Structure 1
Amino acid sequence: MTLVVAIDGPSGSGKSSVSRAVARELGLAYLDTGAMYRAATWWCLHTGVALDDAVAVAAEVRRLPLAMGVDPSAPAVTVGGTDVSAEIRETRISEAVSKVATNLDVREELRLRQRAAIDAERGADGFAGGRGVVAEGRDITTVVAPDADVRVLLTASEEARLARRALDVHGTADATAVEATRDQVLRRDADDSTVVQFHVAADGVVTVDSSHLDFEQTVRAVLDVVAARA
């Protein structure tokens, strides 16, 4: 049986790290759709296209030579043969990605690629040998993979999400670090909310609130949902 697990949620909810852990636990492939938008942003900056030029950005993304690694232990992202896994997490990308991610033509192009990647992991030649994939991203449960076997909205309080992102980016969750990440987290959520809904679970999507859970507890909560639904 092929299993497709779709995990959605706002910035700082932990969906990437939790999704990777769930994929490792279940022996599935892992697809980070958010990294695809970051890679598209990196590519546009690399090629020098103006991010405010929606038509030019969409055209550039259609030419994006992107390869997504789906090994949850080492999900490399390469563009034109260059590993950009680290660069796409830099602040300059985080600050610019919403301009690319809110471009509707870009979203349509990347959704096609995301669906193709999920379909590929349903086959015997996929990373997990046809066992399936854990795919995560802002619209994965509603637009990209609404027919997934298990759909989860992973959320957390604003306070928890800011602290987690500060710890991830700055290595500390003190007041200064939290404030430094506030704009990056909340502004991107506000920008992306104009084109996709990821704060409220759609019908059939199970909400997991990790505000008061540690990482291992959150992973277990998602695995419990998978066990119950699949």
Structure 2
Amino acid sequence: MTSQPAPFVIAIDGPSGSGKSSVSRTVAANLGAGYLDTGAMYRALTWWCRHSQVDLSDQQAITAATLALPLEIGDDPLAPTVRVDGTDVAAAIRSSEISGLVSSVATVPAVRTELQRRQRELIDDIASRRGACVAEGRDITTVVAPDAPVRILLTASEEARLRRRSLEVHGASDDAAIEATRDQVLRRDRDDSTVSQFTVAADGVVVVDTSDLDFDGSVAAVMSVVDSRRR
């Protein structure tokens, strides 16, 4: 009787604008794996707090909202879904308002503890059902899935990250668009760095620098790491 292969987890972390979300989705699709965007969970919580009129300066109130968060997150890399209390919030959580507020929620220690617990459960469930899971976001390589067979820190120069995010948000990468994006990208990384390490690779984490790579090259670089570990 042939034994089934163990569920395979690929954990990808990195700073804002490094391309980890789009690259992770494509890698998951290429592998036929499930996908988990853990950053979307923090964004969904921020939306829920705003929707529920939670005071974002009150950490106890934010923690209570986290414990009650009615979140459903899909694992299809080609069509990831995010619902809160039955409402589709996939587009709403990408708004400038949520982007500007998410750090005030994501830096609360009790919030991180609860969402990291949920993330572990989701990763185990997705990997068990689909054979593999590509999970991306803060703390994935070090706290949430430190024993994952593949752990990658996807990084890029500040210039490359700002250019990519300005194209994503503003549809342009000229000087004005980059400046309009700078605060959002750099402030988020600065705030998150107070509670998470994602600029330096931990032991056993492979660094993939995409500064000089286009999207296809970035995907190929990650797939190369995955293929070598699977072999």
Structure-1-length-normalised TM-score: 0.97
How do 1:1-230 and structure 2 match up within 5 A?
1=5, 2-123=7-128, 126=129, 128=130, 131-230=131-230
In percent, how many aligned pairs have the same letter? 64
- Cα distance in 1 for partners of 2:138, 2:66 equals 19
**8 Å contact from structure 2 (residues 46, 101) kept in 1:** yes
**8 Å contact from structure 2 (residues 11, 145) kept in 1:** yes
1:122 shift after superposition = 2.9
Is the partner of 1:36 in helix, strand or coil? Answer: helix
- Cα distance in 2 for partners of 1:63, 1:229 equals 38
Is the partner of 1:13 in helix, strand or coil? Answer: coil
**8 Å contact from structure 2 (residues 34, 127) kept in 1:** no
- One-letter identity of the residue aligned with 2:12: I
Q: Which runs of 5+ in 1 are unaligned?
A: none
- Cα distance in 1 for partners of 2:211, 2:38 equals 23
- Cα distance in 1 for partners of 2:201, 2:134 equals 18
Q: Which runs of 5+ in 2 are unaligned?
A: none
1:3 shift after superposition = 1.0
- One-letter identity of the residue aligned with 2:136: E
- Cα distance in 1 for partners of 2:95, 2:38 equals 17
CA RMSD of aligned residues (A): 0.6
- One-letter identity of the residue aligned with 1:75: P
**8 Å contact from structure 2 (residues 75, 126) kept in 1:** no
Deviations 1:19-52 (A, max 9, x none): 0000000000000000000000000000001111
- Cα distance in 1 for partners of 2:109, 2:205 equals 24
1:138 shift after superposition = 1.3
1:132 shift after superposition = 1.2
1:18 shift after superposition = 0.2
- One-letter identity of the residue aligned with 1:115: R
List, as ranges, runs of 4+ consecutive aligned residues in structure 1 with deviation greater than 6 Å. none
- Cα distance in 2 for partners of 1:109, 1:46 equals 20
Structure-2-length-normalised TM-score: 0.96
Deviations 1:141-200 (A, max 9, x none): 000000101000000000000000000000000111100010000001000000010000
